[in-house]
């Protein structure tokens, strides 16, 4: 087993490499496309000493990755294949070197070339030295130093990667900031945004709906979203049909499913009708997470017109809501969605103690084009008002109520609530009453017609029975007309009597029909 001293790799831009996240990079190494992190042909040092380690000073001539710097992973937990085609150095102690020769062949297959092994011993100064060359390789860290180091690396890594990711996305969108000034025509002739709810909510905007807990924010937002996805009017307001994505941060699963079912049943809409137009993510992903970045890609592919975030709190767990810097980072994530999809993003939030603004930092409402408030009065009526409109007037106000709707048996939820505009409810009540009155009128007319028909049949039957000689059809009609029965009523009464065998019809002389009672014809 051979050892090799550090040459050009001796201390470069050091990276504590976490296999589950992009590594931190420092130094001034040239950036190429060789690695996903912008590093130039990094040299990989795998720490299998069982001790947290630090690297000594750096000369910035090359880039190194220190894998397993915290010493928390064993040999079989290292993602060796990830470092294929890179120069890999394995650092072990004299105590654990015995098993290394047995695995070098397999490692060569995984990384595509030989791995250089370094055996260290700890000197009197507490530092690690290469047993064969005497060169210092690592400086062991205390547990406290390791925790501090990992925290700093995590912060710098996140900032670096987020910045690079945003730059890549901006470039991919085709946007090129040349720094040039534009003529006024660029804004005066720009295409207007697509109206989602006409006069109140437009595509590409950030919008906020605040309301206390259990006032019906989800029911109102879902009613809005499903109205847009079906192209139905939202109360008195006109909508433009478009794709909607609902990001469920709380109350998901079947509990959310029965809400959708109740709305569909109440409005007479089928599930198939909304399937291409209405999507959900359950559960949603926090803004500051890799899962959110994957969700952003899915949203860009789907191209929704409206994205509903329910709620803000559940999408930024562990974040200080009062911190403007944290709010700005989340707003930037939402802005990226708006830019990539062109969608309006409606964020549901809880109010602060005063109730006049959303809880926490005011950056959300400051950045929003539209802000709406939702409150419930003592009678259970929901009052939704407009607190801010950047591009429309602030007169928008709506009264709604929550309606209990039965859903199909599921063993848990017998009913769910649907937000209904009082304008719609009043119209439904008026329509129901009008239908009831029409039904009564129809029933009255039907009863009148039935009584009249029975009277006509009795009159025609009496005319046949009183005839002293066989009566022809023409003669019977003449008698009925004299009794005040119209021709059409006479014909219906005659046919009904013949069908019931109450009157017998026979052929007389010259083909005329003769009507008699059954007893007389026998």
Place of tokens 């089928």: 270
Digit-coded pLDDT (tens) for 337-377: 999 999 999 999 999 877 678 888 889 999 999 999 999 88
Range picked from 66-70, 91-95, 156-160, 284-288 for highest mean pLDDT: 284-288
The band of 174, judged by pLDDT with boundaries at 50, 70 and 90, is: low
- Average the pLDDT over 180-193 and give the result: 90
The band of 13, judged by pLDDT with boundaries at 50, 70 and 90, is: very low
The band of 80, judged by pLDDT with boundaries at 50, 70 and 90, is: confident
The larger pLDDT score, comparing residue 269 to residue 433, is at 269
Rounded Cα–Cα distance for residues 248 and 357 (Å): 23
Q: Is 146 helix (H, G, I), strand (E, B) or coil?
A: helix
Encoded tokens for 353: 């103690």
Cα dihedral across residues 27, 29, 35, 36: positive or negative: positive
- Average the pLDDT over 49-63 and give the result: 59
Encoded tokens for 70: 């915290």
Digit-coded pLDDT (tens) for 131-167: 888 887 766 556 666 667 667 666 666 676 667 656 6
- pLDDT confidence of residue 166: 64
Range picked from 18-22, 219-223, 477-481 for highest mean pLDDT: 219-223
- pLDDT confidence of residue 372: 96
Strands of the sheet with 471-472, listed across from one edge: 471-472, 513-516, 504-507
Digit-coded pLDDT (tens) for 502-521: 888 888 777 788 888 886 44
Contacts of 22 (CB under 8 A, 6+ apart): 36, 37, 157, 160, 161
How far is CA 58 from each of CA 11, 27, 51, 54, 504, rounded to the nearest angstrom? 4, 8, 21, 12, 121
Domains of the chain: 13-166 (no CATH), 195-413 (3.40.50.300), 436-521 (1.10.10.10)
- Average the pLDDT over 291-302 and give the result: 95
- Average the pLDDT over 393-406 and give the result: 91
**22: pLDDT strictly greater than 90:** no
Verdict on whether the full-model pTM lies above 0.75: no
- pLDDT confidence of residue 377: 84
- CA-based diameter of the chain, in Å? 145
Mean pLDDT of the chain: 81
């Amino acid at each position: 087993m051979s050892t090799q001293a550090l040459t050009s790799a001796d201390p470069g831009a050091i990276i504590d490499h976490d296999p589950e996240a992009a590594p931190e990079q420092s130094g001034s190494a040239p950036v190429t496309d060789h690695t996903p992190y912008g590093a130039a042909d990094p040299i990989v040092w795998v720490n299998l000493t069982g001790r947290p380690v630090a690297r000594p000073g750096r000369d910035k001539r090359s880039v190194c990755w220190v894998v397993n710097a915290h010493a928390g992973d064993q040999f079989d937990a290292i993602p060796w294949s990830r470092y294929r085609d890179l120069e890999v150095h394995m650092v072990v102690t004299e105590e654990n070197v015995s098993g290394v020769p047995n695995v070098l062949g397999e490692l060569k297959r995984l990384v595509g070339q030989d791995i250089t092994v370094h055996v260290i011993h700890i000197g009197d100064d507490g530092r690690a030295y290469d047993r064969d060359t005497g060169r210092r390789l690592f400086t062991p860290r205390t547990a406290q130093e390791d925790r501090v180091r990992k925290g700093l690396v995590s912060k710098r890594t996140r900032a670096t990667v987020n910045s690079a990711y945003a730059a890549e996305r901006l470039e991919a969108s085709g946007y090129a900031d040349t720094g040039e000034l534009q003529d006024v025509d660029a804004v005066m002739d720009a295409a207007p945004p697509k109206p989602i709810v006409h006069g109140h909510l437009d595509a590409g905007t950030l919008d906020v709906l605040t309301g206390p807990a259990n006032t019906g924010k989800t029911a109102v937002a879902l009613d809005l979203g499903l109205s847009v996805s079906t192209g139905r009017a939202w109360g008195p307001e006109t909508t433009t049909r478009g794709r909607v994505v609902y990001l469920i941060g709380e109350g998901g699963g079947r509990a959310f499913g029965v809400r959708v079912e109740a709305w569909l049943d109440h409005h007479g809409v089928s599930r198939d009708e909304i399937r291409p137009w209405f999507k959900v993510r359950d559960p949603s992903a926090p803004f500051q997470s890799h899962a959110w970045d994957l969700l952003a890609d899915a949203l860009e592919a789907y191209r929704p017109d409206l994205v509903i975030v329910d709620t803000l709190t559940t999408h930024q767990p562990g974040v200080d809501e009062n911190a403007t810097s944290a709010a700005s980072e989340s707003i930037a994530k939402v802005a990226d969605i708006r830019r990539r999809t062109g969608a309006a993003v409606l964020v549901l939030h809880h109010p602060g103690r005063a109730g006049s603004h959303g809880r926490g930092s005011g950056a959300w409402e400051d950045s929003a084009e539209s802000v709406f408030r939702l409150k419930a009065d003592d009678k259970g009526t929901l009052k939704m008002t407009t607190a801010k409109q950047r591009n429309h007037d602030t007169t928008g106000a709506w009264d709604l109520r929550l309606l209990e709707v039965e859903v199909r048996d599921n063993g848990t939820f017998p009913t769910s609530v649907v937000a209904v505009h009082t304008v719609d409810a009043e119209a439904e009540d008026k329509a129901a009453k009008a239908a009831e009155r029409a039904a009564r009128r129809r029933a009255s007319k039907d009863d009148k017609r039935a009584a009249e028909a029975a009277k006509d049949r009795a009159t025609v039957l009496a005319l046949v029975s009183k005839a002293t000689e066989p009566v022809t059809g023409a003669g019977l009609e003449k008698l009925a007309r004299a009794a005040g029965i119209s021709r059409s009523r006479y014909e219906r009464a005659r046919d009904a009597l013949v069908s019931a065998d109450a009157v017998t019809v026979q052929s007389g002389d010259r083909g005329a029909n003769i009507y008699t009672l059954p007893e007389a014809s026998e």
